[in-house]
Structure 1
Amino acid sequence: MNPPTLDGLELEAKPHAQFLATEHWSLLATRSMTWNEIFSRTGTYLTVLSATVIALSLVANATGFGESFQTFALLVLPVALLVGVGTYFRLIEADIEDAWLVIGMNRLRHAYVELAPELEPYFVASHHDDAPGMLKTYSFRSRVGLTHWLSGSPVVIGTINAVVTGVLAAVICEASGAGDTLRTIVGVITAVVTVALLAFVGYRKIRHVTRDYRPRFPS
């Protein structure tokens, strides 16, 4: 009985392919767990934040934004912010881990191509472990636009954290007796500084990982 063919090319059984496939499925399962954690942590933070906003609304209706509201806001907003900052840094770490898993699967895919070069035209994802190869596996393109990065979970969570930080700063100013103009200015500046700080820390983490990386199978 003749072996199966693709475009008239016979596929010879490769004993190493089973080990590669097992490792590939292991990385794929780990990547699935990483994405589940990303969604879970993001959802948990948004739930905590929603509960905080609802609680603040109820207290505001009951106290008329008086001193009791300020005290309550100063108690619950730092807790929500702590959860948000922890979520942001974990999302950065999860994205880095996901990138390493993609690199591993691209390397395994490169081994598939070495074992059976005739299969290369059938791969949609990349079999190179450099930056263009990773992006091709992620989005099936060699580069992505600004909208892709802005829609990422870390950017969304970081922006929400900046807003919460600005609101917390405004509440602190209100509790200190500051006027409306000063509260607004302090809140906006605090939010902008928080965005810049979170972006800088996230960039440093990513830069620390990628600085010494050298691809084994560049494009």
Structure 2
Amino acid sequence: MGDRARRQPPVGTPPSLQGIDAVGNPHAQFLATEHWSLLATRSMTWSEIFSRTGTYLTVLSATVIALSLVANASGFGRDFQMFALLVLPVALLIGLGTFFRLIEADVEDAWLVIGMNRLRHAYLELAPELEPYFVTSHHDDAPGMMTTYSFRNRVGLTHWMSGSPVVVGIINAVVVGVLAGVICEIANAGDVLRTVAGATAALLAAAVLGVVGYRRVREVSREYQPRFPG
């Protein structure tokens, strides 16, 4: 689903379900059906996140093993360098695709959480006495979404650093650095120049990926308007 389909039309006064009897009412059944649908979609999204991350790490591990076998067979000469130039860009391409897909999957997961928060808001309009039993939020603003995610209004740096997109992005930056070092080796650059070039390329790649991911999240956040803020 594209961004245009996700954009919410301006809402003056949100619809209210107060005064509707929850017992045997079809509204409650419709809400429950939608809730299970969003939950199943979120489960598939998380499965895709784990699957794509695992696939990339498997490809990268196979690449490292192949490089080590070629190095043992032929040393770190011209044959190894040409083979590294062949397999490292392929691994990097898969890594970049995985990174961008993980960013989009996190955005989609946030929308699913927002949808379930709105449904909880409807549940509490039908049965306000159930509010003390909910540990997740029934507000669709940023604090409400974070409460559902982690049971707190905001998370720290360690939470963000341990996320799949960040981990994959760091690995991609390392691959870029190694590839830059191989290119310098082919160009007969000195050890110091290879080290500096590899480290610079890795840091630059990490910065670029970080900015791209942050801008994507900010773009979606800027366009969103909550209907049931806390």
What TM-score do you get using the length of structure 1 for normalisation? 0.94
Q: Which of 72, 75, 99 is 2:83 aligned to?
A: 72
Find the counterpart in structure 1 of residue 107 from structure 2. Answer: 96
Runs of 4+ in 1 over 2 A off after TM superposition: 11-15
Percent of aligned positions that are identical: 78
Partners of 2:155 and 2:219 lie apart in 1 by: 22
Preserved contact between residue 92 and residue 154 of structure 1 (Cα < 8 Å): yes
Paired letter, 2:203:
V
Once the two structures are TM-superposed, the CA of residue 46 in structure 1 deviates from its matched residue by 0.0
Aligned residues: 210
Q: In structure 2, what residue type is equivalent to 1:151?
A: S
Question: In structure 2, what is the equivalent of residue 184 of structure 1?
Answer: 195
The 1-side partners of 2:112 and 2:170 are apart by: 27
1:214 corresponds to 2:220: no
Cross-structure match for 2:36: 25
Any stretches of 5+ residues in structure 1 without a counterpart? 1-10
Q: TM-score, normalised by structure 2?
A: 0.90
Q: Which has the higher contact order (CA 8 A, sep 6+)?
A: 2
Measured in 2, the distance between the counterparts of 1:14 and 1:35 equals 32
- The equivalent position to 1:159 in structure 2, one of 148, 152, 170, is 170
The 5 Å alignment of 1:36-47 reads: 36-47=47-58
In structure 2, list runs of 5 or more residues that go unmatched: 1-21
**Partner amino acid, structure 2, of 1:129:** D
Contact kept, 8 Å, 1:49 with 1:80, in 2: the verdict is: yes
